[in-house]
Structure formats: C-alpha cells, structure tokens
Structure 1
Amino acid sequence: MTFKVLLIDDEPGALEGMQLWIDWPGIGFEVCGTGSNGIEGLQLIKELQPDLVVTDVNMPLMDGLEMIAAWQTEGSHNVRFVILSGYSDFEYAQKALRYGVNRYLLKPIIPEEALDELAEIHEELAQEKERQSLSQIASYEQIVSCIKDVLQGQAQDQAACSVLNHVSQARETWNFCLVQTEGAAFAELRSRAAALLYQEEAMYLIDLDMNRFGIVYGERCHAEARAADRLFQELVQLYAGQRVFMAAGEGGNTLLQIGHSYRTAKEAMMYKFYDTGYDRVLRYEQIAKRPLNYHYDQLQLAEGIIGAVSLLDQDAFREAVDSAARTFREIFVAPEIVRKIVIHIMWRIMEYLKETSDPETELLLEKYGLPGLSDSVLIMDDLLELLQAFGMDSIELLLREQSKQSQGIVQEINDYIREHYRERLTVKKLGEIFYMHPAYLGQLLLKRNGISFNELVHNLRIEEAVRLLEQSELKNSEIAEQVGYSHYGQFFKQFEIRMRMSPSEYKSSRF
C-alpha cells in the first residue's frame, strides 16, 4: 500500500537531501510534491491531498507549526504531520504536541533513524486505511440494505429513515438505473460494474433477480457534469458486443422515493425492446407518454407467417416477417406479446421439421433452441432477425426433404394423371390424394415434366382426341366430351393450338 508524502522546507539543500537520502518507495511512500514555506504548504496540501506532510518548523512567511494549526482548523481531510527542526528543547516539543504532532525529527536527519520513524507511520496509516475501509463497507452495506427494503415496499423504522435521509443530503436528486444481461454474462458484467462503482461517491449497486442488478445514484445539479452519465458511458463501453439492457427511472429528492424510480425504470426497460441497439441508457422521460398496445390479433399474423412456411415460399415468409416488424413498431405492441407470437411461430415451424427424416433437423432445432427466449435480452430487430433466419433455414431444409421424396412420387402422379385425365382433375384434388400442398405439387410437376399440370392434361386429352378422330365415327362434340371437355369451345381452342387446325380440318385431311 503506497501513501503520498509532501515535503516542505525553505532550504533547497534540505529538500533535495530528504528526497535523496530516504528510500521513500522502499517504505511505501511516493513524494507527491515539495514546498518552501507554510503558506505554499497549505495550498499544496489542499491541491495534492497527501497522507503525510514532513515539514520544517522555522520558515519565512508562515512557520511549520502555524501551517499545521491552520490546517487543523480549516482543512478538509485528515493529514499526518512530522516536523523537522534543529531546536530540540522541551518547550518546542510541547507546542508541537498541542497541535497533534507526535513525530519529531531532528536536523540534520540521520537516514536510518528517519526510516524507522517513517516505517512506523506507514504502518499506522495502513491500519487506519483498513479500519476506514471496513467502516465504509459496513456503512455501504447498511445503506444498500435500507434501499432494498424501500424497493420491496417494506416499512422503514426510524433508524433506517434516519440513515436514508442522511445519505440523501449528499445529492439533490436520486435515481435508479436498471441493468439486465443474459445469464451466461451476468456474473462477469456485474463484477465489472461493481469495480467501477467502488470508486464513485453517492452510487450503490443493488442486486436483484432474473440476471438483473440496479445502480442507485445521486446527482447534484443539471449544470455540472453528471458523474452518472460518465459511469453509464463506461458501462456501455465495457458491455460493447454484449446484449445488455439499461434503463433509468424518474428521479426523486430523497432515497425514500427510490421505489418510484425503480418502478419507472422497469417501465422504461420494457421500451428498450424497441431501441435500435444496446449501446445507450433509455430514460423514463423518453417513453413516459408512449403507451404500449396489449390488444393485438396474434392469430391472424401468426397464421400468415406459418402459411408461407407451409407453402415453402421464402419470399412470402420474409415479407410476412418484415410486415409484422413494421406493425409492431408502429403501434408499440407490448414486448411480451411480440415474444409470445415469435415463440408460437417457431414452435409451429418446429412441428413441421419434426416430420422430416433429414439428419440436419436436430442440428437446426438445437441451433434455434427456444428455452429462455421469453426472458431473453433482445431488441425487437434481433428477435425478428432470429425468427427470419430460423424460418428461412427451415424452409430450405423442408424443400430438400420434399425434393428427396418427390423423386419417386412424380412418376406415380404422372401415371395417375394419364389414367384420370378424362375426369374433372385439378391440382387441388391431386394434392388431397397424394397428401401434398397444391402449390408445391404444381411446382414439382412443372420442374420434373417441363410443363405445367394443365398443359400435361390438355396434351393427353388432345392426343386421345386425335386418335378418336382417326379411328371412330364419333361427332366432334362427342369426342370432346369423351376426352374430358365439358365445353366444346374449350376443346376446339386447345385442339387448334396444338394441331394448328380445327378438329374438322384435321378429320378432312385424314380422309
């Protein structure tokens, strides 16, 4: 433990000798400055705040004892003094004792004797520092305990009220900043915050639940630089790259009102969900007049997004999620409702995935695990980005799975179409028969056959119509009906498109 020492003597040689002959670092001291008289010494004590002052007695303008007496009367902090003098008479020593000086070194200084005296002073300073630290810790813990009782709404006895009122006088206003992190990072970040707070005045760290802690802080006036703002900026820098929510409440005049500050900080914390990043403290006054919307048609939105997944339409899914994000932000849907919607959608998508045989399914489910998502520290943009990524990856996997399954089933579908093309056959009916979504089935047939379902049916019907025109005496209208057309005009149109002539022209050309 190192302490600061200030040296004062009107003889430059004496000052130089004290710095050279005494191994100050070796006995735990750092020379923070030097002075040449009592007046200068008073100013240096005020500016440098040394722990120990070694001063000559006989100096111009103001001697050492006068300087000590002046500081004992007007000084703002405790300082130990050692006097140097060539006068060894009893009267002088008595006068020094009246000023609280109990160390006296004779000139010329003998380094060995001085070292022993100074080492004893260092030990006394170290013990005093330890006692002060223990006292400060005890006092700090008492204040924190009283603050916790206020936050929990417990009645304060006279002693607790006295403690809080006394502490409150140190600042004009008091406020509460709520800090929430993710479980894995909580212990480290809380420790780093505590280390910063330890160096600050009128600031207290309050442990809460659910990976949260609070910072109770006092401020003097709006005109001066706020220590709290500086501290919060340091915390933001420490948390760079981490998902951390920080929100400050509405300040009050005393710590007895800190419960209100805590409640408003929790309210502000909810709005952090709609912030654009994690790198700032959201303050209650920024959101006080912006109510959250708790009434929202969750089912309609969820079904729209799930529908895009069932259709395996990535573009539609992306647009549905983007549209939901815009709506949430426009009407300020309560964060817990947004989280419930996202979790519901992700569970529904997972149900689709569980029906597949792809080995990557388990990896995907593990990557986007839902446990803890309801209490996660995520702004809306990141939450919906997570949903977006999960949905797109899931559709990609489902497309691969259906592609594998479709290898053999396309032939079955084509065989079925060839057997039933004369009937009122539709893609929807085929989907019901083969348990496939009509849109996907239609895309699958187009990809495998090179033509659409409707084109395939028309081709088969006109092919059969050509055979009948060549081999039978049926009327054109009868042939049209027999191959599956309920309206002759439709048959005529499709025949002409494919054969470049009407049915009658074709029959005439054959005979």
Structure 2
Amino acid sequence: MMQLHRAILVDDELFTRKGLIKLIDWEDCGFEIAGEADNGEDALALIERVQPQLVITDIRMPVIDGLELIRRVTTENNMKPAFVIISGYNDFNYAQQAMRYGVQDFVVKPIDEIEFTSILKKINEKLNAEQEEQSKRERRIGSEMIKSLILGEASEASIAGWERRLQLKKTDFLIYMFAELNDNHRLEPSTGQIPNARFMELVQQELMRITAASQPVNLYEHRNRTGILLPGFLLEPFNGELERFLAKFRAALDIHFGKSVFLYAGSPVYGLAHIRDSYKAAKDALLYKYTNDERIVVYEQMQSEQLNYIGFEPAQFNQFMEHFEELKSDAVKTAVEQWFLDFREKRYAPEAVKMNIQQCVMGIMKTIRSMEGDEQSLSTLKPLLNWQDINLSLGELKNMFSAFIEESGLLVAELRKEQQKGGIQKIKSYIEMNYSQNMSLKSIAAQFYVNPVYLGQLFKKTYGVYFNEFLLQLRVNEAKKLLRQSCAMRVYEIAEKVGFSNADYFVTQFEKIEHMTPTEYRNQLQ
C-alpha cells in the first residue's frame, strides 16, 4: 500500500480551511493534512518544515499572497510540491500566471466535493507515478553501486560520492547480507510461485519498517537471492545487536512467506571500499545453510566451525541400494532419515549434500536402466537433478528426494512384474516345446536360474495351476492326440513319446484326469 502524501492548506479564512478538511475524504484521495497556515509567510515556514507533496492555497491573502508563495517555493526552494489554487475570484489572469509556475489546477469557490476529489485523485496518481519512477532510479543507482563495489571496480571518487549519498560517517560500519527465499518452486501446476521482484519489494518494505529507515535500503538482485547493503546505524533500534535485528527481520518476512526465508550476514567492515570483504564473508556463510534450524547464519559466529565434504561409506551405500532393489521401503526410509540427520548434525557443506544425493540418484537410474526401464518417465527426476538451481531448505530437499525414491520404487516394482511375466512365459513355452523330455520343477528352475519354490508360486499365480498339473495335462492332451491319430502305436510307446518312462504310471495319471484308461479312450473312438 502506498504511503499517504502530505498536504497543507493555506487560506486566511479559518472556516474555509476547516470546512475543506471535513468536506473531503483525504485518505481515500491518497493524502493526509500535515498542517495549516493563514498567510503566505507562515506557509513558507510550514513548507520548509513539513516538506509536503501538495500545497492547496488561496490567492488573496495578507503579507504574501498565493502567487508570490508559489513563485518563491518553485524558484527558491529545493522542495517542489504540487500546487492547487482555490479562490473566490473567477479571475483567469491569476490562473494564467499560476500555470507558469506549474500549478496543477485552479478551483473556484464554493468548492464542489466531486470536482475537488477528482482533482486530488489525479494528483495522487501523478505523485505515485513520480515516486515509483524515483524509486526505480534509486534502486537502479543502488544496484549499480553494489555491483561495482563487489566486483572491485568502483573508483575512489565514486565511493566517496556514494558514502556522502548514504550519509555514512567514518565510525559507521557496514554489513553485506543475503535474504534467500527457499522452497519457491513449482512442482505442481496449482502451486503459486513468488516472483523475485515481489520478494525484493517486501524485503525492502520490512527493512524500512523495522529499522525506521528514512530512505530505502540498497538492494542487489543476485541470481537466486537478494543482497542487502546494511549500514550499521540502522541497527540502532536493536542497540546495535545484529542477532536481534536478524531475528526481527526473519520474523517479519515469515509473515509474508512462512518459514522459508534464510538470512546470511557477512563480517562488519568500515567504509564502502571494504564492502567486498563483507560480501565474500556472506557468501561463505551460505555454506553453513544446512547446519542449523534457525535459518540465520552469521559468518562471525560460524567461521570456526568445520564443514564436512564426505561421501557415503561404500558399505552403507551398497546396503541402501540392496534394500531399494529388494523394495524394502521401511529400510530405505530409515536410511534416508539418517542421512538427512547426518547432513545437519555433521555439518555437511551444500556441495557434499549434492554429491551424496547425486550418487543415490545415479545408482537408482542405473538399476532402472539395467531392468530396461526409462528413468526419464519419472516426474520427480528432473527437479531432483536440478535442485541446486533453486533454493531448497533441507526439509524440502528430503521431501523431494523421498518422492523420487518412492516413484522409482514403484517403477522398479512394475518393471519386475513385466520381467517376471516375460520370464514365466519363456518357461511355459519351453515346457510346451520339451514336455516329452524328463523334466521337473527343480530341473526347470535350475535351467532358468530361478528358485524352485519361487518358480512354483509364480507359475501358480500366473496360470492358475501348479507346474506339475500343467505338465501332466500337457502330456495327457498329447497322448489323447496320438491315441486318436495312430491306431498302430502301443500304449507304452505313447507313454514314452509324451514323457512317461513308466507305462503303468502313465495309465494311472491318464485315468486320473480322463476317468478312463488310454485303451478305453481309444475303444470309445472306435
């Protein structure tokens, strides 16, 4: 919301001033009445003190009239407020003179509420546009200044000029810091994403509010975080305590973004010429992102803490992959929980976290490929491969990694089903081609490198009959075919041809299925 513009009323008639105050909804028009004066001389002093954006003045007044007031302010004063003239005299000569000084409008008494409200709203829109344009220029200048400083390209003359512009004293220290919005990605189409410009706008807004800054704080848009050039005098409301300021700043941003903003503060330095050192320290503070839950990293406090750049133990990783391929989801979840606990407690640097996550992703992708699967079909793969291009909290990274593992596990299970289906079909085809040979569940399982118990269960699950039943039915069906087609073949010859080494056993099994002997079956045909 835009801040209300300050307006003052100048008229020698008290009734006119008070009536105008009551007549208009000033706040709705974008203004607040910051003072009144009953003559031009007092108005000059009031303008100097209040620095209004709008002056509403009568023309005919004692001491200094309205036109002289406007002339002096516009030609002699650095302050350039907008002017609106009100007068009981419908004298366009006055209006013509006033317009030379840039007066916005000329209103004749008695004042019409609707007309005057319309004039004020137009002036408010113009002032807002000018303020926005000025803010853009200020932000651009501040951004260029920071860029020049952190690249070490600023000249001594420009540094001195910027220090005057910032009203810095030699005793004022400066801190460079980062504000980083995390978990601001869009994995689901329904999830809203906060633009960088909006984040910077709210960072600026909250900085000015909690520090009571009289002018905008200089910000710089880095690739995925906002840089802040913080003068030490802005910490005065916090007794100069950086930690108190950071806690208040974080809490203010949490109202807008939830618990997703991280703050990193570099070392304090004296003079803009040294801000690059504070910037480098703030960058080093980024490395401690995953070492605590506070979401605040102060380089001065963390620089002595050693970071870890270690990978997973080979045995630990191999066991994880074994559990993953065995689809032991509970064991996999336990391993992931422990890994992310270690990332924090053992102070893993972000680069080490990335290395270990990638090792797991590559291992899982290799498994999927070995099963003739397509890892690109995983919707969770691409975000995980590119997670360092966005800012993620450790908790959100764990969620993303866990979602990838879960989806990958489902794919592996599906691929295994397809492989099993294809494998059992090969076994069935082999049996149908070689049923006349001496075979058993054990011999088939050995030939296809499958556990016999598992093969028996899989065969029953796939075809609804046990292996021995299927083989027996196959042999009996072929025996019936031979009995129908060849009257010369003896029963024992048929038994041998379809895979029975014992003719009596053949007869027994044939009768068990057909409820008649092979001979009876042949005689029945005759």
Please state which band the TM-score falls in when normalised by the shorter chain.
Answer: 0.5 to 0.7
1:100 is aligned to 2:51: no
Cα distance change on mapping 1:7 and 1:244 into 2, 3 Å: closer
Is 1:287 the counterpart of 2:302 in the alignment?
yes
Q: Secondary structure at the match of 2:385?
A: coil
- After superposition, the Cα gap between the structure-2 partners of 1:442 and 1:251, relative to the gap in structure 1 and judged at 3 Å, is farther
Match for residue 230 of structure 2? Answer: 217
What's the counterpart of residue 267 of structure 1? Answer: 284
Report what 1:61 is aligned to: none
Q: Contact conserved, 1:273 with 1:335, CA < 8 A, in 2? A: yes
Residue in 1 that maps onto 2:88: 109
Name 1:193's counterpart in structure 2.
199
Q: Return closer, same or farther for 1:435/1:442 CA change in 2, 3 Å cut-off.
A: closer
| 8 Å contact kept, 1:268–1:282 | yes
Shift of 1:342: 1.4
The aligned runs of 1:19-418 (5 Å cut-off) are: 32-33=32-33, 44-45=34-35, 55-57=37-39, 65=41, 67-68=42-43, 70-71=45-46, 75=49, 77=51, 84=58, 100=72, 109-110=88-89, 121-122=103-104, 137-154=136-153, 156-170=154-168, 172-178=172-178, 179=180, 188-196=194-202, 200=208, 201-209=215-223, 211-220=224-233, 222-224=235-237, 233-240=251-258, 245-276=262-293, 280-285=295-300, 287-356=302-371, 364-369=377-382, 370-406=384-420, 408=424, 418=442
Deviation per residue, 1:70-113 (Å, 9 max, x gap): 446x726367766658667xx75599669936899999834787
Is residue 7–residue 53 contact of structure 2 (8 Å, CA) maintained in 1? no
8 Å contact kept, 1:7–1:31: no
Q: Classify 1:182/1:163 alpha carbon distance in 2 versus 1 (closer, same or farther; 3 Å).
A: farther
What is the count of residue pairs matched by the alignment? Answer: 398
Contact 2:217 2:228 in 1 (8 A): yes
- Partner SS state of residue 364, structure 2: helix
**How much has 1:321 moved relative to structure 2?**
2.4
Q: Contact 2:290–2:343 (CA<8 Å) still a contact in 1? A: no
SS class of match (2:274): helix
Q: Distance between the aligned counterparts of 1:268 and 1:105, measured in 2?
A: 54
| Structure 2 CA distance for aligned equivalents of residues 244 and 183 of structure 1 | 10
SS of 2:195 mapped into structure 1: helix
Amino acid in structure 1 at the alignment position of 2:177: C
Q: Offset of 1:224 from its aligned partner? A: 0.9
Distance change (3 Å), C-alpha of 1:251 and 1:237 = farther
* Unpaired segments ≥5 residues, structure 2: 75-81, 107-122, 187-191, 209-214, 239-243, 432-437, 461-526
Q: Distance between the aligned counterparts of 1:105 and 1:334, measured in 2?
A: 62
Q: Distance in 1 between matches of 2:365 and 2:85?
A: 87
Letter in 1 for 2:397: L
The RMSD of aligned alpha carbons is 5.1
Say which is worse superposed, 330-339 or 405-414, in terms of deviation.
Answer: 405-414
Map Cα deviations across residues 102-149 of structure 1 (whole Å, 9 max, x no partner).
Answer: 899999834787998699533798889877876665454333222212
2:325 is aligned with what amino acid? S
| Paired residue secondary structure (1:121) | coil
Partners of 1:184 and 1:106 in 2: how far apart? 53
The AA in structure 2 aligned to 1:109 is G
CA shift digits 1:157-207 (9 cap, x unpaired): 122211232244358443333236679679952110343466642412213
1:397, 1:104 → 2: CA distance? 72
For residues 452-489 of structure 1, give each alpha carbon's deviation from its aligned partner in whole angstroms, at most 9, with x where no partner exists.
xxxxxxxxxxxxxxxxxxxxxxxxxxxxxxxxxxxxxx
How far, CA to CA, are the matches of 2:257 and 2:403 in structure 1?
A: 25
Distance 1:389 1:104 in 2: 63
* Rounded Cα–Cα distance in structure 2 between residues aligned with 1:324 and 1:235: 30
Partner amino acid, structure 1, of 2:354: R
Is the Cα contact below 8 Å between 2:311 and 2:355 reproduced in 1? no
Is this contact kept in 1: 2:325–2:412, CA < 8 A?
no
Cα distance in 2, alignment partners of residues 381 and 105 from structure 1: 58
Q: 1:244 touches 1:377 (CA, 8 Å); kept in 2? A: no
Deviation at 1:376, TM superposition (A): 4.1
Maintained 8 Å contact 1:182/1:244:
no
What is the CA–CA distance in structure 2 between the aligned matches of 1:107 and 1:448, rounded to whole Å?
97
Q: Could you tell me how far apart the structure 2 residues matched to 1:443 and 1:286 are? A: 62
Alpha-carbon separation, structure 2, partners of 1:159 and 1:221:
25
**SS at the partner of 1:395?**
helix
Counterpart-to-counterpart distance in 2, 1:56 and 1:284: 58
* C-alpha separation in 1, matches of 2:322 and 2:377: 20
3-state SS in 1 of match to 2:277: helix
